Structure 1
Amino acid sequence: MNIVWTIAVAAVTAVVTATAAGLTVTPRLDARTKRIGEAHAARDAFNTHLTTVLMASARLRNVQLPAADDPTCTPVVRERLAAERERWLRQIDEATQWMNDHVATFAGGWPSQRLIDFAVAYCGHARMLMLSEREEAAKLELLGDLTLPVQRQFFGFWWTRARHFHADHALFAETVTRLTAPSAGA
C-alpha cells in the first residue's frame, strides 16, 4: 500500500508541476526566445545593410559614367550604366533608411552604452548624409568613412575589432566632424 501511495503522490506532483510550469514559465521563456531571435535577426539585417552600403558605394566609385562624347560607349550602354548606377544609389538609400528606422530594434541590446551610441550615431548620420545635397562623390567618400569603422567594430573578427578599435572610433569621429562642420554645406 505504501508503494502505491508513493507512486500516486509522485504522479500527481509531477502532473501539477508540469501543468504549472506549462502555464507560467514556458510562455515567458517562449516570449523571451522570440525577442532574442528577433534581436539577432535585426542585427544580421544591420550587417547586411552595412555591407550593402559599402559594396554599392565601392561600385559607384569604381564604375563611372562615360563622357557623353566617348566614342567607345554607345548611347544604349551609357543609358544602361546610368540606370545601374541609379539602382546602386537606391540600394544605399533604402539601406540607410532601414537602418535609421530600425536602430532601436538592433542597437538596444548591445552590452554597453558606447556601442549603442555608436550604432545610433552611425544610422542618423548616414541617413542625413544620403538626404543631403552634397555631390555624389563627396557623399560616397563620407559614407565609406562612416560605414567601414562601424561594420568592422560590430561585425569584424574580434582580433580586427581590437586592432582597429581606436583608429575606427577616431575615423568615425573625424568623419562626423567633417559632416557637421558649418563649412561642409548641406
Structure 2
Amino acid sequence: MPDWMPSWGTTALISIVTSLLTLIVAGRYISPPLEVRNRRFQAKMQAREKFQANMLDLLSAVTHLLAAPVAPEATDTVRTALREERARWRAQVDEATKYLTDHAVQLLFAYQGTRLPELAVRYSSNARGVWISDRSEEQKLTNLRDITQHCHALFFDSPVYARQRVRSWTELERLLEQLETLETPSSG
C-alpha cells in the first residue's frame, strides 16, 4: 500500500471494497431468487390458511344446522328466526364448499408429497359433492361434519398428536372412499 496511507487505512479500504462487492453480488444474484422463494412460501401459507378457514366455517355452519332444528312447538316468531338462521348457515356451507372446490388445485402446491395434497383435493371435491347430492339434509350434514373433523385433525392438529392424525387420516380415507362409491352410478 502507499506509504502515505496509515496501516488502519489499508484495513478500512479492504473492508469497504469487500462490503461493496458483497452488496453488489448479493443484490444482483442472491436477493431476486430469495424474493421469489419468499412469495412462493407466502402463497403456500395463504392457501393453507384459507383452506383451514373455509373448513372451520363449514364445520361451524354444519354444527349449527345439526344442533338447531326448527322445533314445531316454538312460537311463530322463533320458528321464523330459526328458519332465517338455518338459511344463513346453509348459505355458509354452500359458500365454503364452493371455495374449497374452486381452489382445491392450490392445495397441490401448498402441501408436500403425493398422498397428502391429493387427499386435500379429494376432501374438497367430496365436500361439495355431498352438499349438492340428493341425500337428506341430515345425511349431508353428518357426512360433512365427519369428513371435515377428520380432515381438520389430519392437516391442522399439532404434530404432538401424531397417533390421532394417523387415525384421522385412515378414517378420512375410509369415509371418502365410502362417499365416492355411493356416488358412482351403478352400471347395469
Aligned to 1:12: 17
User: Identity of counterpart residues, as a percentage?
Assistant: 27
Q: Mapping of 1:53-64 within 5 angstroms?
A: 53-64=58-69
Q: Mapping of 1:112-123 within 5 angstroms?
A: 112-123=113-124
CA offsets 1:54-74 (integer angstroms, 9 cap, x no match) = 12111100100122xx3x322
CA RMSD of aligned residues (A): 2.3
Aligned to 1:73: 75
AA partner of residue 135 (structure 2): R
Conserved? CA contact 2:154–2:168, under 8 Å: yes
Conserved? CA contact 1:40–1:106, under 8 Å: no
Match for residue 40 of structure 1 among 39, 45, 61: 45
Aligned to 1:132: 133
Change (3 A) 1:175 1:98: same
Question: Using the alignment, how far apart are the partners of 1:78 and 1:7 within structure 2?
Answer: 82
CA offsets 1:37-64 (integer angstroms, 9 cap, x no match) = 2211221221111111112111100100
Change (3 A) 1:127 1:63: same
| Structure 1 gaps, min length 5 | none
How many residues are matched?
A: 180
AA partner of residue 134 (structure 2): E
* Larger Cα-atom Rg: 2
Change (3 A) 1:129 1:19: same
TM-score (norm 1): 0.83
Question: Using the alignment, how far apart are the partners of 1:170 and 1:35 within structure 2?
Answer: 30
Give secondary structure in 2 for the equivalent of 1:134: coil
Question: Using the alignment, how far apart are the partners of 1:78 and 1:37 within structure 2?
Answer: 45
CA offsets 1:121-170 (integer angstroms, 9 cap, x no match) = 111111111222221111001111211111001111223342351x3233
Change (3 A) 1:24 1:77: same
AA partner of residue 35 (structure 1): R
* Residue 8 of structure 1, CA deviation: 3.7
Change (3 A) 1:184 1:80: farther
Match for residue 34 of structure 2 among 29, 32, 40: 29
AA partner of residue 119 (structure 2): F
Conserved? CA contact 2:131–2:140, under 8 Å: yes
Question: Using the alignment, how far apart are the partners of 2:118 and 2:83 within structure 1?
Answer: 37
TM-score (norm 2): 0.83
